[in-house]
A and B are shown apart, each in its own frame.
Chain A
Amino acid sequence: MKREVPLALTFLMTLLRFLFEMINPLLNYEISEGVMLFSRISFSVTFMYCMGLFMGLINLTRVHGNTIKRRREHWIYSVWLLIVLYGYAILGLFFGGLESEAFNWIYDAVIVPLDSTMFSMLAFFIASAAYRAFKIRNVESLLMMVVAFIVMLGNVSLGNAIWGSESWLGGFSGIKDWLLAIPNAASQRAIGIGVFLGAYAAILRVALGLEKRYLGGTDW
């Protein structure tokens, strides 16, 4: 039963979700006046999301609690993580949430700038990585470099100043647009079709009970 019940539930829910999308009257089906079946299912998903967050909180606390207890390497960061995690949650839950100045200040002055800083550092890493790795070793790498330069120049006003969009072939931006719209779009489509075929296969395997690893354990 430990195995059969989750498998049957998975199959049922996959089928139900599929049918909701395929059969329009089912999407609008009302179990009682003004209460749609889909709404009830949708809210159960919302509830599961919230429970997932709660499970994540418990798991994170267990993992980092153990790190602190056993004084593993960098355990002090785990202390900091738990302080931030619970501190911010408590501030949000019991001290006014979005109406609390402190809660909003932490978001505006700490979270957003930190997030931006992390992303901005990419500029430095990309510069360094491009310098070290972008070496012309064969015709393919030469071709790649030429295309990269065209796209980089086509994206910025410097490219427009060197070879403007009103000139022959639309300048750097004209060639960049063609590269993105024709060869790039064609390859993106091919990749997309491959990815989705793989995803369909994976979903079918889960729905039919051929893929069981998500159930955890090792005895099946």
Chain B
Amino acid sequence: MEWLKRLDSIDPRWVYVIMALSLVFPVLKPIGLAISINKETTIPVYNWIESLQPGDIVVGDVSFSGGSEGELGPQLQAWFRHCMQRGVKVIMVAQWNTGERLGYTLLEETAEQLQEEGIPCEYGVDWVYAGYKPGGTTLWRQMQLDFWEACAETDMLGNSFSDLPLMQRFKKWDKATASDLIIFAAGDPGVGTYTTYFPDYNIYVGNVAVQVPGAMNTLRAGQIKGLLAGLPGAAEYELLLDKAGKAVKLMDAQSMGHAWIMLLVILGNIGFYLRAKERD
């Protein structure tokens, strides 16, 4: 029984090695555990895009950087794919300058796949990436008054808005041009910009898992209409689109990672309990 007492002092190197293996193996050889779709968080986002008409404009915001790409990247790509499949036009802005190019790269990758599949996804016609503009949240208020002027009339690539057909329909960002928006946010500035300056718009959110408890009260209060919650949110969206991708593949790894943490906590407590009993 002596070995059981040692369970509360496992060498951290084993903790790390087993964690690494639990994450890597399921990626290389997926287990294929079933994923259930969350009706309260994911379904409203999916239904929102389904309810739009081809040609409608929605605005998306990339407020994350490389650190959150694992969770928010697949969300952004799945949502963008859905918009393009439905013929919904997308205009993207970015509140984080560190994630501006990352967001564009992810969308460009999806756009190429869509075009290969024969789904129209032409830059400037079906989507535009305005990107990051300095000026903080005040600038987002300015975007509502005159989007073109607030963005210096250029997209991230330096193209003039007057050369992009989609932008001719989006000079002003108001409820008449786009009353719905989604923000993929990993922190601040993030959702607060929209709940403050766009309170009467239909706001949808994609969050990393650790932010979800903090976002639940806004969802319950109706300030946001739907929430893609971390990697499970992305995986559920991919399944709804019937296009299992990166997120579905990574869900098994997340399961194994969680299982290892729980096992560690149980083992640690067995050792802790036995040692405490011995001391008494």
Contacts and interface: CB of A to CB of B under 8 A. Distances in A.
Given A38-B145, A155-B209, A158-B259, A45 B139 contact: yes
A152 B268 contact: no
A136 B257 CA distance: 22
Interface string A117-146: 011100110111011101110000000010
B265 A134 contact: yes
- Judged by DSSP, the binding face of A is helix
B15 A128 contact: yes
B34 A157 contact: yes
A209 B200 CA distance: 34
B70 A134 contact: no
Nearest to B17: A124
Contacts of B33: 156-158, 160-161
B220 interface: yes
B16 A131 contact: no
Interface in B7-43: 10, 12, 15-16, 19-20, 23, 33-36, 38, 40
A114 interface: yes
A28 B174 CA distance: 13
A59 interface: no
B145 A28 contact: yes
- Judged by DSSP, the binding face of B is helix
A153 to B, nearest CB: 7
B220 A181 contact: yes
Interface in B148-163: 149-150, 156-158
A152 B139 contact: no
Given A39-B145, A46-B134, A132-B268, A156 B232 contact: yes
Sorted from nearest, which 4 A-B pairs have the closest CB atoms? Answer: A115-B66, A119-B67, A46-B135, A157-B33
Interface in A67-97: none
Contact of B34 (A43, A45, A126, A160): A160
Nearest to A188: B217
B260 interface: yes
Nearest to B137: A45
B241 interface: no
A132 B145 CA distance: 53
Interface stretch (A2-10, A104-112, A210-218): A104-112
Nearest to B220: A185
Contacts of A50: 134
Nearest to A131: B264
Interface string A143-177: 00100010011011111110011100001010001
A192 interface: yes
B217 to A, nearest CB: 4
11 contacts: A43-B142, A115-B69, A116-B69, A119-B68, A123-B257, A127-B257, A130-B265, A136-B269, A155-B229, A181-B219, A184-B216
A42 B150 contact: yes
A126 B261 contact: yes
A149 B240 CA distance: 27
Interface in B102-150: 102, 105, 133-136, 138-139, 141-142, 145-146, 149-150
Contacts of A188: 213-214, 216-217
Contacts of A145: 265
Given A38-B142, A38-B145, A127-B260, A115 B38 contact: no
A98 interface: yes
A185 B216 contact: yes
A94 B149 CA distance: 25
A157 B135 contact: no
Contacts of B136: 45, 49
B272 interface: yes
Given A49-B134, A123-B23, A115 B262 contact: no
A25 to B, nearest CB: 13
B63 interface: no
